[in-house]
Amino acid sequence: MFGLIVSAVDHVACLRCRAAGRHRDRGLGDEESRAHGDHGAQTHLTRSPSRWLIAAMLERKDTKAWWKGSRGEWYVVAQLVLFVLVAFGPRTIARLPALSGFYAKAAMGFGIVLMAIGSGLVVTGIANLGRNLTPLPFPKEGGELVQTGAYSLVRHPVYCGVIALAVGWACTVRGPLTLAYAVLLFLLFDAKSRREERWLETKFPSYAKYRKRVRRLIPFVY
């Protein structure tokens, strides 16, 4: 399931690398071409999600250690643990009745639909963020407030998409424990998004109006 998230991040990174190459081929000035080339190389080196997460947590301009969590690093650590549990953790409890027949097929069908929706939200949200993308809740320096695309539907479409993927996967494998991990992931993203939004309101005065207009994690609901 989370291979879809990995593929989405890698796909967006590859597109940026190709765009940087096209800019160089069009004969940009030496200084601008060099800037694009450096950006493309850096993106290529860090396009693996695990390297990207580690690089984002270690890339600091101050002397504070990442484990102090001043930019919300521990939220990222917790969500990685939950990702592993959802994908590979125990799925059910011994002697717990399992779904069968029509209910098993219905759960699988519902799960596949949820995973398709979640994948779309993750890919679209990442593409809409562009250079603002970061795994940390603390906004990137020089970042911009994105309110278009998937962000006009829900304030945190990537979180929403990952939650849909997790719930869909739990339904597909018919794992009650997997569903419990997905609920924990929802609670974590709720807490992480609340912390993130306090920073966003401080950085972007217009965020308060955006917050009133668009729901946090579930379109039109929550």
Report domain extents, the chain.
62-213
CA 47/CA 164 separation, integer angstroms: 24
pLDDT of residue 190: 98
More confident residue, 167 or 52: 167
Predicted TM-score (pTM) of the model is 0.74
Token pair in block for residue 13: 């990174």
CATH architecture of residue range(s) 62-213 = Up-down Bundle (1.20)
The residue-averaged pLDDT of 158-178 equals 97
Token pair in block for residue 120: 């779309």
Distance of CA 159 to the CA centre of its chain: 5
CA 195/CA 82 separation, integer angstroms: 19
Residue 55: pLDDT band (50, 70, 90) is: low
pLDDT tens-digit series, residues 110-146: 999 999 999 999 999 999 999 999 999 999 988 999 9
pLDDT at residue 11 greater than cutoff 70: no
Task: Classify residue 36 as left (phi > 0), alpha (psi -120 to 50) or beta.
Answer: alpha
Token pair in block for residue 48: 């693996």
